[in-house]
């Protein structure tokens, strides 16, 4: 009988690596498997069709409740590059579907989101809610809305105008466009360790820019000012010109639905103290719940993972997207919807 060849240490090590890679790959697949079924739909919008995704729970039967999502600033497809899927799943655990859409001009959607006012965006949410109420898979008596950042200028108007909402959830909601911009500028410079003279120069530049906005300056006049290097695009300047007076303060007393305000204590975009004070003063008594996330960023993600260029953040996004969020945040969404969405 021939003696068997011994398996060398190199082959053993290679086999172990392959097993680990296969195991890691399987784990990543599981972590990116969400308990929702995504259906692409087209909604007749107020100005152009909305290319949307309806994320339906995979468990349970019968018509579902629905949460309509409102994006923050910037380019955004329906899933916000996948960041919404854990949120969709959290709502699915409460028996609710989710609905969100590509911003106009994004991923094949018609239009240009930079041509929109905040009122235009509120009208989109209204159109989506009205469309959903006619869908057989949606329970028209169980409707809610969720919005982030700039969504704080979009959804309170909807919640004040409508009588068919069960709840509103806002994350990192802004109050006043100009004050929010200054806060963001100050925190960015602080994080960079900028000296006082640079801060002063940036604030003077910002004041000059605001004067142009208040005067209704056209794009050529803005370019001639040489205030920004590089300058905003023409569409972006017009977007800011259209929206820089946004302020939600006067709309808050009109809110008539239970509201969950989620704030991260490491929000560098929005002054959460101002936001909380404005909502406590404005939203009618008994309707507001405020939750502050320790270590939470502007988007309710873990702050250490939600910084530009974070390698850990990128790895977490790919390998375990639910873990991007502050522990307990997704459960809070589920619990709030269960409580108010029955």
Q: Could you report the per-residue pLDDT of 272-323, keeping only the tens digit for each?
A: 999 999 999 999 999 999 999 999 999 999 999 998 888 898 899 888 999 9
Where residue 60 falls among pLDDT bands split at 50, 70, 90? confident
Q: Looking at residue 2, what is its pLDDT?
A: 42
Tell me what the mean pLDDT of segment 88-110 comes to: 98
Q: How far is CA 141 from CA 15, 93, 256, 336, in A?
A: 56, 18, 16, 17
Q: How far is CA 277 from CA 105, 145, 254, 288, in A?
A: 36, 22, 16, 12
Q: Is residue 12's pLDDT more than 60?
A: no
Q: Looking at residue 308, what is its pLDDT?
A: 83
pLDDT > 90: what percent of the chain? 86
pLDDT digits (tens, 9 = 90+) for 163-212: 999 999 999 999 999 999 999 999 999 999 999 999 999 999 999 999 99
Alpha helices in 40-117 (DSSP H): 85-93
Where residue 53 falls among pLDDT bands split at 50, 70, 90? very high
Tell me what the mean pLDDT of segment 72-80 comes to: 97
Residue in 99, 91, 137, 110 with CA at minimum distance from that of residue 45: 110
- Helix, strand or coil, per DSSP, at residue 199: helix
Q: How far is CA 177 from CA 30, 169, 222, 250, 289, in A?
A: 40, 20, 19, 14, 23
Rg (CA), the chain: 23
d(CA 306, CA 296): 9
φ and ψ at 226, to 5 degrees? 55, 35
Where residue 160 falls among pLDDT bands split at 50, 70, 90? very high
d(CA 132, CA 20): 45
Cα-Cα-Cα-Cα dihedral sign, residues 140, 146, 150, 156: positive
d(CA 272, CA 56): 32
Q: Looking at residue 30, what is its pLDDT?
A: 56
Q: Looking at residue 213, what is its pLDDT?
A: 98
d(CA 42, CA 193): 47
Q: Which helix (H) or strand (E) holds 144?
A: strand 138-148
Q: Looking at residue 27, what is its pLDDT?
A: 35
Q: What is the pTM of this model?
A: 0.90
């Amino acid at each position: 009988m021939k003696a068997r060849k011994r398996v060398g240490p190199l082959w053993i090590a290679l086999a172990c690596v392959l097993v680990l890679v296969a195991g890691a790959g399987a784990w990543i697949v599981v972590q990116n498997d969400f308990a929702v079924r995504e259906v692409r739909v087209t909604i007749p919008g107020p100005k152009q069709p909305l290319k949307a995704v309806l994320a339906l729970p995979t468990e349970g039967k019968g018509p579902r409740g629905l949460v309509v999502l409102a994006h923050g600033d910037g380019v955004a497809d329906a899933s916000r590059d996948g960041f919404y899927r854990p949120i969709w799943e959290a709502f699915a655990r409460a028996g609710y579907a989710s609905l969100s859409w590509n911003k106009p001009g994004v991923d094949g959607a018609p239009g240009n989101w930079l041509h929109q006012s905040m009122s235009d965006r509120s009208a989109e949410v209204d159109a989506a809610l009205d469309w959903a109420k006619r869908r057989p898979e949606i329970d028209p008596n169980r409707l809610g809305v969720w919005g982030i950042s700039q969504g704080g200028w979009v959804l309170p108007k909807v919640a004040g105008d409508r009588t068919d909402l069960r709840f509103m959830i806002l994350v990192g909601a802004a109050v006043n466009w100009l004050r929010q911009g200054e806060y963001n500028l100050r925190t960015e410079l602080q994080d960079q360790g900028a000296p006082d003279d640079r801060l002063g120069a940036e604030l003077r530049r910002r004041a000059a820019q605001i004067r142009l906005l208040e005067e209704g300056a056209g794009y050529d006049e803005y370019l001639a000012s040489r205030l920004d290097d590089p300058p905003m695009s023409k569409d972006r300047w017009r977007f800011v010109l259209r929206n820089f007076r946004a302020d939600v303060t006067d709309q808050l007393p009109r809110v008539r639905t239970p509201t969950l305000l989620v704030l991260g204590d490491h929000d560098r975009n929005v002054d959460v103290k101002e936001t909380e004070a404005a909502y406590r003063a404005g939203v009618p008594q008994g309707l507001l719940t405020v939750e502050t996330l320790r270590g939470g960023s502007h988007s309710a993600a873990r702050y250490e993972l939600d910084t530009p260029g974070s390698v850990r953040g990128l790895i977490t996004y790919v390998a375990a997207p639910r873990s991007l969020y502050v522990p307990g945040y997704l459960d809070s969404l589920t619990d709030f919807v269960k409580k108010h969405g029955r």
